[in-house]
Amino acid sequence: MHRIMFILLCCLISLSLAGAATWFLAPAAVLRDLVVAVERKRAGLAAKTILVRDQAVAYLDGGPMTDPAPILLVHGSSGEKDNWNRTARFLTPHHRVIAIDLPGFGDSPRWPVHDIGLKGQVAALAAIVDALGLHRLHLGGNSMGARVAALYAAAYPDRVRSLWLPGPSGVLSAMPSDLLRHLQAGGDNPLFIRSTKDYPAYLGWLMAHPPSIPAPIRRALAERALGKADYHRRVFDAFARETTSLELSISGMTVPTRIVWGEQDRIWHVSGATLLADRLAQASLLLLPCGHLPMIEMPEAVAADYLAFLASLPTS
């Protein structure tokens, strides 16, 4: 979704391999695949699939395969597994990292029978964890994925060694965010574009400092987002109907938790950070000068903080 690094590098690679004409005339999907391939390679991640409930689930996997407790990462409601590439680059030298596409997101097809709401997504995550054979894991998620990961951790505390929540959603007692006020005023949801022309504004909602993206890459990313927007909007709306807030759902949970929140988050107000941390028995908090996607806007700082958090955990 957000390919905000390595763009110049990818342009140079494309130009050297196929010439300037190919760069500007190639189908958007080809350009997107090229950029993603560069990001994955630099992150040390390989694309894989696994059957879960007889359906293919796409995921990225990298780092030491002997890691007894891998890191498993879950994307947000308009995201996909590649949202983690920039931060994973700093994690894979030390830990095995798995980033999944939930059903209907990224490269995972929709499941024919699947509750797309919170309960169903937690059940899907549980099925994926089981299929991957992960008996112990460090679990992380952004936005919707953070809410799903947190409820999984609350349900399976003996399996989850730690919980990492960069940019979580669902803290309903927080102050109204820019997005909530926009929706309450009757505005269309800007997280799910209706035209490729909406893509720059979409990035502006998600990030405090959106990048300048060359036109061919922007077109590729916009077409990718547009193709998934209707389904992703349905999932978002299903989550919006949930009446139990995240801070109440996991109140008192003892799984060690690191919360990372952007001070300029327009999707979920930063006031939710303390409200969530205060509800948990073993939570700590990092605030950063960024928007809703700290792992994309500030990957090196986010990764360094996360590695320090993991190193601080007692061995088991």
7 falls in which pLDDT band (50, 70, 90)?
very low
Strand partners, 287: 261
Kindly state the percentage of the chain with pLDDT values over 70: 91
- The average pLDDT across 196-205 equals 95
Give the single-character DSSP code of 168. B
* Residue 231 scores a pLDDT above 90: yes
Residue 85 has pLDDT above 80, yes or no: yes
